[in-house]
Amino acid sequence: MIGVFDSGFGGLAVLREFFRVLPEYDYLYLGDNARIPYGTRSDTVVVQFTRQAVEYLFQQGCVLIILACHTASAKALRAIQQQYLPRHYPANRVLGVVIPTVEAALARSASGRIGVIGTEGTVASNSFKIELRKLDPRIQVFQQACPLLVPIIESGEQEGEVADLMLRKYLTPLTTQDIDTLILGCTHYSILKPKIQTYVAPQVQIICSGEVTAMKLVDYLRRHPEIESRLSRQGRRSYLTTDLTPRFQDLASLFMGQAIEAEVVQL
């Protein structure tokens, strides 16, 4: 199976893009709803939680895991790829959303002035900035942490005034920097894409990581037959969560576009 991990529901928006381009594979989604948010937590804790989730998904039979969570991709992916995998699961793979998103942003930016919005943790890790500059040292990166956007979306206020108020506050410092590309560096922000477009200049290209990661996954599977050949292809889709709250279905529908049936597990 292809495992997809997120701190909560937001990764369902990424998973949905995978279903669109690679519907034939079997997927197992895990949302760590009991411990969300990851965006405000220390590096040590994000690494620890993400490792537990990855371990769990491997034990369920996943051979390839995508960290849909940007905070986990930014803070934990390197440690997992460089230390944990070689020692414990050398034949398996864990990929994130940062590199595919960075590559897409570079391909689309003409001016080399790129904005990044994300959780506090993602922005503080400088992961997007570091990876952008690795590929092109001339790129100018303008980052903005948007800590209130996740709670606004999770409380169903994404269409309300408070969302507008906070988007204006967060995006103004970026728009004054004349960016031509904006990376939505968090699972949740694709929900706000139409609104975000109204706060930036019309020519600003908005990069949603779900879409670009799905395209890169197609390419990855083509280039890695040793992984692809181990994936089952019966179109099965299963969902695991570490907590099931009364709002679960509302939020699942918001990100997935439909209700889902999830099994509660403990990591």
**Residues interacting with ligand DGL, by CB under 6 A?**
6-8, 10, 36-39, 69-71, 119, 122, 150, 186-188
Total residue length of the chain: 267
Cβ nearer to ligand DGL, comparing 51 with 70? 70
Least gap, CB of 250 to ligand DGL (angstroms): 16
In angstroms, the first-to-last Cα distance of the chain is 18
Alpha-carbon distances of 125 from 75, 121, 158, rounded to whole Å: 7, 6, 26
d(CA 187, CA 116): 13
Least gap, CB of 183 to ligand DGL (angstroms): 12
Cβ nearer to ligand DGL, comparing 73 with 180? 73
Active site residue 69: yes
Catalytic residue among 62, 69, 146, 208, which? 69
Cβ nearer to ligand DGL, comparing 112 with 151? 151
d(CA 116, CA 123): 8
What stretches of 148-208 show up as alpha helix (H) in DSSP? 149-154, 161-175, 193-199
d(CA 195, CA 48): 35
Least gap, CB of 95 to ligand DGL (angstroms): 15
Q: Within the chain, what is the greatest distance between any pair of CA atoms?
A: 50
Least gap, CB of 63 to ligand DGL (angstroms): 23
Least gap, CB of 73 to ligand DGL (angstroms): 8
Q: Which of 6, 7, 143 is nearest to 16 (CA)?
A: 6
Catalytic residue among 62, 146, 186, 208, which? 186
Active site residue 186: yes
Cβ nearer to ligand DGL, comparing 36 with 63? 36
Cβ nearer to ligand DGL, comparing 122 with 213? 122
Cis preceding linkage at 246, omega within 30:
no
Indicate which residues carry an active-site annotation.
69, 186
